[in-house]
């Protein structure tokens, strides 16, 4: 059974933001509603289990933690050794969502981190240098700092700093950026990553005192493959009108199990449940909003500290994100990639090299967005530029130029931050978003009149 | 023969106004030559030179260029050099180039490569992914493959094959160039009163703007002047400067640091053009040698993450080796690598009891009073404490 209830925060269940005031000029009435069914409850349950595991590792020494980054990682290998994946990005994200990031950011700035450094890093470092206790988990110290350098150069800095701060063991898993015009990694690139994965296996064997169980790894890779496939099916559903869910604001709910629990039975079960529920919504013609008036593609990470506020700025216009680049940071499955258990290391390497947005060049991102706009039938592009993440943001003015001038797609460029609440200017964002949708509304009106044979 | 004083008075102003004018001027005497722009930090210039082309450092636009177009493409929180480089392109000031190469030094520089590709479809735009795994035995093969890929692209631009012997000749000439630059830096570290940081900077910067065959003569002349000098040391504090490995500070700022009472024993200005601590072997497989040198014979930098040793240790060692009393961290504004490094450096310097001063600059800044006052205060606190 489908119920529409007040929606909860994306990756947590405890956040309560103040309801913001209703804008006088809003064109349609929309409730602040969203889908919450089995999927959501299950997400809370399995993520809670994951965080409990971190806390037990930190407080009772159960298991060994491997720090990794989200974008294209070899978590399958880490799971094969029963090590515990810890993602500093998730730490930072959770702190931001729970509005607990700022004190940690300030702490990092006190010891020399700049106002202009990525606030994800600052929040995590601030946390790391303390007792690592948060409302969601206590973060264990790393047995291995496994820096999967996939695109983002700040990753290298981040893990280099963690290693200096705790004098821990670090391995830089270097993933060559996609730089060939073909958009495909070279044979040498793949070879290089596979050889490094073998070195990671050796390190894990040394740290755990166990030899790699290849059958186990293959099974985990197979689960990753199935999980990715389910996710791609879920994302394809937003091609329907109305879209059954918001492929940005709701996708982030699904990204937590995708990244933290990929390769586990829990993760697989979650996506089976999610697909069923979303298919049911398609069958019933239900979307996340009472009325879907606009379909947009959104580029860039969300403003975690104000996710709900930000979402409502679009919801009031009946605008639904039908596709997003952010939901592909940890992997692009919707264009056919699937982990292959028969070639475990090669397919992990392919995922890291080619099948995530982070390791793709900026022009490939233009292509990805253009494809979304076309195949997901979007009316507009919204670019959310965040200061913290220059990988995403640097040059988005050129992206806007391309989409407005070359492709004629209505494009809105707005700025805030992924982590630092000081960069969220609510009134300004609201004005920009309102003005944008007002102009779309006007266009629509003109178009409808022309279609009806009247004068614009 | 041009002595150092003449050289400085000849080139200081063009370097401040528009450094690439010097290269463009040189190109006139080689009308058929092909020039390939090299964005910071390091690029294997030998591969370009071996194709009979001339590598030229596109290292910002100097102190005067107005940004009129690029700031609509790159946001306010992106560093100056990314914008000034795009501005150079959009205003036609890079039209003399046959290509340009970017590198995996930071996120904005990477995206800039893509933006160049889209905005200048007729220009060869390349991008090198430098490895960040310095411990794997497989890295050298990866980098050699990357260089072979690049060589094929350069062959196309050059319109001819690049043979191993071509590359060996280029290795030899740049070995000589870097050897002389190392000597210049060694003299400065030994007797900083005999060559100022501004002189050293100007001489080094010229390496990025002309063919090595012409530059080496100039460098030899400059060194002859420096070797002859025998100045008395002044009451200044000796510092090591770190953090200016990509965007370059205005010459007037470098001047100001010295005038405020510092001897710069060492710095990381233009570090990519001086990148190796020793010669690259010429015998054997030259592509392999070039790749191997990146991993085994290069200096550390803010954009190379070498896990074999903690990064902050390098700076501490350098301060100790040069006998400096303090460190000066001079970071470009919004330069994420340099700003991150500062947090590590600060921690390590404090632990070692080494005083330091942190300053930010922009290539286009034109008010230097504040920076100078800060340095003066810092110097006084050290001299009279």
pLDDT (tens digit, 9 = 90+) per residue, B131-142? 999 999 999 999
**Tell me, what's the pLDDT at A36?**
60
Record the tokens describing residue B134, joined without a space: 């310095």
Contact A363 B117 (CB under 8 A): yes
Tell me how close the Cα of A115 comes to any Cα of chain B, in angstroms: 9
Give residue B366's pLDDT. Answer: 86
DSSP class per residue in B120-147: -TTSEEEEE------S-TTHHHHHHHHH
CB B338 within 8 A of CB B332: yes
Please compute, for residue A429, the number of CA atoms within 13 A of its CA located in the half-sphere on the CB side.
Answer: 23
Longest dimension (CA), chain A: 78
**Do the domain assignments include residue A21?**
no
Q: Which domain holds residue A332?
A: 4-8+27-451
| Torsion angles phi and psi, residue A86, rounded to 5 | -120, 130
| pLDDT of A8 over the 60 cut | no
Beta strand pairing status for A170-175 and B35-38?
A: unpaired
pLDDT at residue A35, rounded to an integer: 52
In a domain, A456, yes or no: no
Q: Please give the pLDDT value at position A455.
A: 53
pLDDT for A18 equals: 39
Cβ atoms of A316 and A309 closer than 8 Å: no
Give the C-alpha separation, A172 to A156, whole Å.
Answer: 8
Q: Which residues share a beta bridge with B323?
A: none
Q: How many CB atoms lie within 10 A of CB B257?
A: 26
Contact (Cβ atoms closer than 8 angstroms) between residue B176 and residue B216: yes
Range of the domain at B221: 1-385
CA angle, B137 as apex, B136 and B142 as ends, to 5°?
A: 90
Residues in chain B within 8 Å Cβ distance of A128: none
Chain B residues whose CB is inside 8 A of the A388 CB are none
The β-bridge partners of B127 are B102
Nearest CB partner across the interface for B114, out of A156, A363, A401: A363
pLDDT confidence of A23, banded at 50, 70, 90? Answer: very low
Predicted pLDDT of residue A28: 54
Cβ atoms of B79 and A395 within 8 Å: the answer is no
- pLDDT one-digit tens code per residue, A273-323: 999 999 999 999 999 999 999 999 999 999 999 999 999 999 999 999 999
| Residue A321, helix vs strand vs coil | strand
Q: Quote the number of domains for chain A.
A: 1
Query: How deeply is B310 buried, as exposed, middle or buried, from its count of CB atoms within 10 A (0-12, 13-18, 19+)?
Result: middle
Distance from CA of B23 to the nearest CA of A (A): 28
CB A70 within 8 A of CB A91: no
**Residue A397 is nearest to which of B74, B149, B303, comparing CB atoms?**
B74
Residue A378, pLDDT score: 98
> Residue range A221-239: average pLDDT?
98
A19 located within any domain: no
For residues A57-82, average pLDDT? 97
A196, B136: Cβ pair inside 8 Å?
yes
Averaged over A168-192, what is the pLDDT?
96
Query: What pLDDT shows up at residue A32?
Result: 52
CATH number reported for the structural domain that contains residue B67 in this entry: 3.40.50.11900
Nearest-CA distance B216 → chain A (Å): 34
d(CA A393, CA A302): 12
Q: Tell me what the mean pLDDT of segment A437-456 comes to.
A: 85
Residue A111 lies in a domain: yes
pLDDT exceeds cutoff 70 at A456: no
Best of B100, B112, B115, B151 to substitute, by most chain A Cβ atoms within 10 angstroms, is B115
- What is the structure's pLDDT at A39? 84
Look over chain A and give the mean of its residue pLDDT values, rounded to a whole number.
92
Q: What is the DSSP letter of B232?
A: P
Sheet of B124-128: strand order equals B54-57, B35-38, B99-103, B124-128
- List, for chain B, all residue ranges whose pLDDT scores fall below the cut of 70: 385
A24 pLDDT above the threshold of 70: no
Share of chain A above pLDDT 70, in %: 91
Question: pTM to 2 decimals?
Answer: 0.94
pLDDT confidence of residue A181: 84
Domain count, chain B: 1
Q: What's the whole-number mean pLDDT along residues A51-56?
A: 98
Does residue A209 contact residue A193 with C-beta atoms inside 8 Å?
no
Task: Name the band, by pLDDT with cuts 50, 70 and 90, for residue A257.
Answer: very high
Res. A22 pLDDT band, cuts 50 70 90? very low
Residues of chain B neighbouring A116 (CB-CB closer than 8 A): 77, 333-334, 336, 339
């Amino acid at each position: 059974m489908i119920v529409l209830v007040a929606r909860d925060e994306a990756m947590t269940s405890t956040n309560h933001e103040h309801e913001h005031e209703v804008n006088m000029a809003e064109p349609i009435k929309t409730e602040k509603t969203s889908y919450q069914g089995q999927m959501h409850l299950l997400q809370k349950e399995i993520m809670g289990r994951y965080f409990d595991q971190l806390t037990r590792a930190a407080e009772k020494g159960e298991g060994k933690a491997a720090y990794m980054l989200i974008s294209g990682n070899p978590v399958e290998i880490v799971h094969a050794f029963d090590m515990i994946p810890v993602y500093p990005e998730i730490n930072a994200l959770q702190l931001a969502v729970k509005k607990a990031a700022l004190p940690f950011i300030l702490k990092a700035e006190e010891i020399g981190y700049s106002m202009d450094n990525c606030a994800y890093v600052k929040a995590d470092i601030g946390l790391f240098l303390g007792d690592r206790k948060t409302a969601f988990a206590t973060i264990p110290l790393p047995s291995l700092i496994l820096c999967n350098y996939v695109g983002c150069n700040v990753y290298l800095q981040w893990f280099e700093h963690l290693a200096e701060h705790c004098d821990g063991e670090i391995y830089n898993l270097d993933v060559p950026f996609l730089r060939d015009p073909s958009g495909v990694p070279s044979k040498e690139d793949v070879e290089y990553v596979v050889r490094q994965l073998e070195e990671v296996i050796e390190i894990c064997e040394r740290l755990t005192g166990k030899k790699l169980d290849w059958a186990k790894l293959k099974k985990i890779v197979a689960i990753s493959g199935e999980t990715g496939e389910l996710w791609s099916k879920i994302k394809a559903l937003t091609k329907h009108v109305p879209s059954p869910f918001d492929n940005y604001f709701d996708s982030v709910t699904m990204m937590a199990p995708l990244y933290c629990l990929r390769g586990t039975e829990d993760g697989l079960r979650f996506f089976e449940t999610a697909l069923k529920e979303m298919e049911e919504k398609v069958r019933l013609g239900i979307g996340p909003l009472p009325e879907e008036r606009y379909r947009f593609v959104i580029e860039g990470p969300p403003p975690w500290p104000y996710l709900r506020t930000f979402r409502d700025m679009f919801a009031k216009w009946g605008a639904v994100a039908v596709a997003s680049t952010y939901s592909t940071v940890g992997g692009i499955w919707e264009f056919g990639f699937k982990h292959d258990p028969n070639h475990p290391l090669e397919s992990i390497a392919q995922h890291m090299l080619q099948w995530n947005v982070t390791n793709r060049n900026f022009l490939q991102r233009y292509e990805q967005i253009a494809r979304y706009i076309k195949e997901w039938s979007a009316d507009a592009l919204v670019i959310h530029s965040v200061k913290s993440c220059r990988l995403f943001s640097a040059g988005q003015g050129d992206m806007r130029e391309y989409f407005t001038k070359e492709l004629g797609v209505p494009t809105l460029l707005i700025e805030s931050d992924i982590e630092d609440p000081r960069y969220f200017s609510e009134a300004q964002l609201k004005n920009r978003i309102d003005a944008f949708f007002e102009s779309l509304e006007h266009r629509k009106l003109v178009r409808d009149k022309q279609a009806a044979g009247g004068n614009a | 023969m041009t002595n150092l004083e003449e050289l400085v008075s000849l080139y200081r102003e063009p370097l401040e106004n528009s450094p690439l004018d010097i290269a463009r001027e040189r190109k006139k005497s080689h009308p058929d030559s092909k020039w390939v722009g090299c964005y910071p930090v390091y690029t294997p210039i030998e591969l370009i030179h071996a194709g009979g082309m001339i590598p030229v450092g596109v290292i910002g636009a100097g102190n005067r260029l107005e940004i009129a177009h690029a700031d609509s493409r790159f946001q306010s929180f992106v560093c100056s050099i990314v914008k000034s480089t795009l501005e150079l392109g959009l205003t036609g000031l890079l039209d003399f180039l046959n290509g340009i190469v970017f590198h995996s030094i930071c996120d904005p520089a990477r995206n800039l490569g893509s933006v160049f590709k889209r905005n200048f479809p007729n220009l060869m735009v390349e991008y090198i992914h430098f490895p960040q795994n310095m411990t794997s035995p497989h890295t050298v093969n990866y980098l050699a493959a990357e260089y072979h890929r690049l060589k094929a692209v350069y062959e196309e631009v050059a319109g001819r094959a690049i043979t191993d012997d071509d590359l060996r000749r280029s290795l030899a000439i740049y070995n000589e160039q870097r050897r002389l630059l190392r000597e210049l830096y060694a003299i400065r570290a030994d007797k900083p009163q005999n060559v100022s940081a501004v002189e050293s900077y100007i001489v080094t910067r010229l390496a990025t703007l002309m063919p090595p065959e012409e530059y080496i003569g100039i460098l030899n002349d400059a060194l002859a002047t420096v070797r002859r000098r025998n100045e008395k040391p002044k009451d200044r504090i000796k510092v090591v400067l770190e953090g200016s490995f990509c965007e370059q500070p205005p010459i007037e700022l470098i001047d100001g640091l010295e005038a405020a009472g510092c001897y710069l024993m060492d710095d990381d200005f233009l570090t990519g053009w001086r990148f190796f601590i020793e010669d690259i072997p010429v015998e054997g497989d030259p592509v392999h040698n070039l790749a191997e040198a990146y991993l085994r014979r290069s200096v550390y930098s803010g954009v190379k993450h070498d896990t074999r040793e903690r990064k902050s240790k390098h700076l501490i060692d350098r301060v100790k080796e040069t006998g400096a009393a303090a460190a000066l961290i001079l970071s470009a504004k919004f330069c994420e690598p340099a700003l991150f490094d500062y947090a590590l450096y600060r921690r390590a310097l404090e632990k070692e009891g080494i005083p330091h001063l942190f300053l930010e600059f922009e290539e286009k800044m034109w008010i230097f009073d504040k920076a100078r006052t800060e340095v003066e205060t810092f110097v006084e606190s050290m001299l009279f404490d």
